[in-house]
Chains A and B, each alone.
Chain A
Amino acid sequence: QVQLQQWGAGLLKPSETLSLTCAVYGGSFSGYYWSWIRQPPGKGLEWIGEINHSGSTNYNPSLKSRVTISVDTSKNQFSLKLSSVTAADTAVYYCARTYRVVVTAQDWFDPWGQGTLVTVSS
């Protein structure tokens, strides 16, 4: 059974770079895309972007200029960097597997990591 475990700095100052890593345990890493999703306190969910094992990425255009998602296949890990953070980037950040059915192009997020609260404050 696939499990995702994530970690990273939880308190940042404005203009700093957010950095989180997610490790994948117990299943195939190469057959999937891997996503980052965030949720501001008390609000809804926003997809940030995704990456596959070969490093192919897709980003949300609203964040694309500040986001970099990378992969380390030797460790079954993928990482998120978000530059020039502001208070608006305060959120719980989740990693998740993008389960994609090639034939139908249907996809969904399952499973998810436990979430990391990142607070941006001066």
Chain B
Amino acid sequence: DIQMTQSPSSLSASVGDRVTITCRASQSISSYLNWYQQKPGKAPKLLIYAASSLQSGVPSRFSGSGSGTDFTLTISSLQPEDFATYYCQQSYSTPVTFGQGTRLEIK
């Protein structure tokens, strides 16, 4: 299985900050990388697919980049509703696997 490692595991930031979360794959996955946001008690929500494509309805302050083994999710200016846990997921090979999550907390 491809291992997905996110860093940091948790992050404290303030409204208006620019935040970057990193996801690293244990082998090259080209651009087969998706990002999800999960709030407590809710199902994950797709933010970014194919490494850099913004899902319809997702605010443009979210962006994704990367290819191969290293990927980033960037939030350009944090809003109060962005405090949540973020997961990356590879779809390069079966079984698809997720990162362990990055919890974004209010400073």
Residues of A within 8 A of B (CB): 44-47, 58, 60-62, 94, 96, 99, 104-115
Contacts and interface: CB of A to CB of B under 8 A. Distances in A.
A27 to B, nearest CB: 14
20 contacts: A44-B101, A45-B89, A46-B98, A60-B95, A61-B95, A94-B43, A96-B43, A99-B49, A104-B50, A105-B32, A106-B49, A108-B89, A109-B46, A110-B46, A110-B49, A110-B55, A111-B46, A112-B43, A112-B45, A115-B42
A44 B43 contact: no
B94 A107 contact: no
Given A58-B94, A109-B44, A114-B43, A44 B49 contact: no
Interface SS of B by simple majority: loop
Contacts, number: 53
Interface SS of A by simple majority: strand
B91 interface: yes
